[in-house]
């Protein structure tokens, strides 16, 4: 008659091997989970760095936009002053009486522009061009003389200085608006690129997180299988202990119904599964 303990020994060995395999799989999966967790942490650190850098660009952009608004307000203010002074200068020119027989300054400027246009657009002989250039020089000299006479008045000179200052200030603030707006746009574009890079990193972090959860779930399942295999080994060892005539420890609680020894041995020889409770009760009763 074959020894029933041999089959139990074989089953115990197989269960031990399964327990070892599940433990190795669990440890490997846990190692993979740690690597994935480290990768996710690195991505999160990169996201924080990108976000902080983007926020700095946003802060600088907002500061520049505030400076743009201030420069625009100053530009409008100086444009208004420039326009007011321009009208005042024109009024002063119109109010100033021309010398007896002198051609008004506005007429001299109009004639000079017509000659300049003719010189650029008309084919002239050498003599015609010479006479045209001489007339242009005469008009320029007359305009210059009238301008000098106009500026000799102290009140007019002060107005003209204020007019020039207003024009220069308006141009200065207009240039500042353009430069500040360009700088603000560069800061904005840099901010957008960093936020987009952060979004891509978040997608990567989500992918890694999904893998991490999957690996951890597999590791938990491998651990559960490992524990189940260990418990199976212990159950088999209890069967071996009983089959070899040993007695169970007092901590093994007996079932309410005791199995017959003949039924137990018959089932054991057939390779059928025998419950731990049956073994405990049998040991409690004792074998000769």
Same domain, 115 and 85: no
Tell me the CA distances in angstroms from 76 to 61, 86, 169, 170, 214, one per residue in order. 22, 15, 10, 8, 63
CA 33 to chain centre: 26
The residue segments making up the domain with residue 133 are 97-152
DSSP string, 126-151: HHHHHHHHHHHHHHHHHHHHHHHHHH
| 116 within some domain | yes
Same domain, 44 and 77: yes
Asked if 216 and 36 count as a contact pair (C-beta separation under 8 A), the reply is no
Which pLDDT value is given to residue 190? 97
Asked if 37 and 251 count as a contact pair (C-beta separation under 8 A), the reply is no
As for how many domains the chain has, the answer is 2
Interior/surface letters 143-169, b for 16+ CB within 10 angstroms, e for the rest: beebeeebeeeeebeebbebbeebbeb
Radius of gyration of the chain measured on its C-alpha atoms:
51
| 180 within some domain | yes
Q: Where residue 24 sits, what CATH number does that domain have?
A: 1.10.287
Report the pLDDT averaged over residues 7-12. 86
Same domain, 41 and 104: no
Which pLDDT value is given to residue 284? 47
Which pLDDT value is given to residue 264? 52
- Percent of the chain residues topping a pLDDT of 90: 48
Tell me the CA distances in angstroms from 106 to 113, 118, 143, 146, 217, one per residue in order. 11, 19, 9, 10, 92
pLDDT digits (tens, 9 = 90+) for 33-65: 999 999 999 999 999 999 999 999 999 999 999
Same domain, 66 and 124: no
Same domain, 88 and 176: yes
pLDDT digits (tens, 9 = 90+) for 73-122: 999 999 999 999 888 877 877 766 656 456 666 677 888 888 888 888 88
**How sure is the predictor about 152, in pLDDT bands with cuts at 50, 70 and 90?**
low
Same domain, 40 and 176: yes
| 187 within some domain | yes
Which pLDDT value is given to residue 265? 53
| 62 within some domain | yes
Same domain, 32 and 115: no
Asked if 278 and 268 count as a contact pair (C-beta separation under 8 A), the reply is no
Which of the listed residues 223, 242, 260 is the one where a domain comes to its end?
A: 223
Which of the listed residues 152, 184, 199 is the one where a domain comes to its end?
A: 152
Tokens of 120: 């650029």
The C-alpha torsion from 125 through 126 and 127 to 129, rounded to 10°, is 80
| 274 within some domain | no
Same domain, 85 and 176: yes
pLDDT digits (tens, 9 = 90+) for 173-227: 999 999 999 999 999 999 999 999 999 999 999 999 999 999 999 999 999 999 9
Same domain, 190 and 85: yes
Same domain, 127 and 112: yes
Task: Look up residue 273 and give its DSSP letter.
Answer: -
**How sure is the predictor about 28, in pLDDT bands with cuts at 50, 70 and 90?**
very high
| 234 within some domain | no
Tokens of 101: 């027989």
Asked if 10 and 164 count as a contact pair (C-beta separation under 8 A), the reply is no
Same domain, 3 and 136: no
Same domain, 78 and 11: yes
| 46 within some domain | yes
| 66 within some domain | yes
């Amino acid at each position: 008659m074959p020894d029933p303990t041999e089959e139990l020994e074989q089953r115990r060995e197989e269960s031990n091997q399964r327990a070892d395999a599940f433990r190795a799989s669990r440890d490997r999966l846990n190692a993979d989970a740690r690597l994935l967790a480290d990768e996710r942490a690195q991505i999160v650190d990169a996201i924080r760095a990108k976000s902080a850098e983007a926020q700095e660009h946003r802060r600088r952009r907002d500061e520049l936009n505030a400076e743009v608004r201030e420069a625009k307000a100053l530009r409008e203010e100086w444009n208004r002053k420039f326009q007011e002074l321009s009208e005042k200068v024109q009024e002063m020119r119109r109010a100033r009486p021309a010398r007896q027989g002198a051609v008004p300054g506005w007429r001299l400027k109009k004639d000079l522009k017509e000659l300049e246009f003719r010189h650029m657009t008309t084919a002239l002989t050498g003599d015609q061009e010479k006479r045209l250039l001489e007339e242009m020089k005469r008009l320029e000299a007359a305009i210059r003389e009238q301008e000098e006479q106009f500026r000799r008045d102290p009140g007019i000179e002060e107005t003209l200085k204020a007019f020039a200052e207003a024009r220069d200030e308006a141009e200065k603030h207009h240039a500042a608006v353009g430069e500040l707006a360009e700088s603000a746009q560069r800061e904005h574009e840099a901010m957008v690129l960093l936020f987009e890079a952060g979004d891509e990193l978040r997608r990567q972090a989500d992918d890694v997180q999904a893998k991490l959860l999957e690996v951890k779930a597999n590791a938990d399942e491998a651990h559960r299988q490992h524990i189940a295999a260990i418990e199976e080994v212990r159950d088999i060892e209890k069967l071996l202990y009983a089959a070899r005539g040993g007695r169970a420890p007092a901590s093994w609680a007996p079932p309410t119904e005791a199995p017959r020894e003949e039924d137990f041995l018959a089932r054991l020889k057939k390779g059928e599964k025998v419950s731990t409770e049956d073994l405990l009760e049998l040991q409690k009763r004792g074998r000769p």
